[in-house]
Amino acid sequence: MPIEVNGVSYETDENGYLVNLDDWNEDVAVKLAEGEGVEMSENEWQIVNFLRKYYDEYQIAPAVKVLTKAIAKENGMDKKEASEFLYGMFPKGPALQACKIAGLPKPTGCV
C-alpha cells in the first residue's frame, strides 16, 4: 500500500516498510512515524540516524539487543535504561518501529 508525501507516492510492503530504500527522506520518515503514532523529536531522530548508519555499514538492520547495547553505550546508560528509553519512544518494538521509520527492512529475527 503506497503512502503519499508532498504529492509523491512511495511504495510500501504489506507491513508498511518502504519497498525501495532509496525512496527514504526525512519527510517520508515523518509520514511513516505518523502511521506508527510516533512523534519525531531529537531522540527519535537520534535512533533513526543511528539505524541508517548501521545499515549503511553492515547492510542489515540491527536486532533489538544490538540496538539497545549501542544506544546504552552512546548515551552512558545501562542496558535496562536504554531499553526503557527505546520502548518509551517506540512502544510497539524499537527495532520494528524505528527501522520502519528509518526506511529500512524489517530486522531479521523480529516477528
Q: Among residues 19, 21, 60, 110, which one is catalytic?
A: 110
Closest CA to 64 of 107, 11, 21: 107
Phi, psi of 77 (to 5 degrees): -115, 160
Summary count for the chain: helices (H), strands (E): 5, 2
Residue 38 carries which side chain, given as an amino acid letter?
V
Q: Would residue 110 show up in a list of annotated catalytic residues for this protein?
A: yes
Catalytic residues: 110
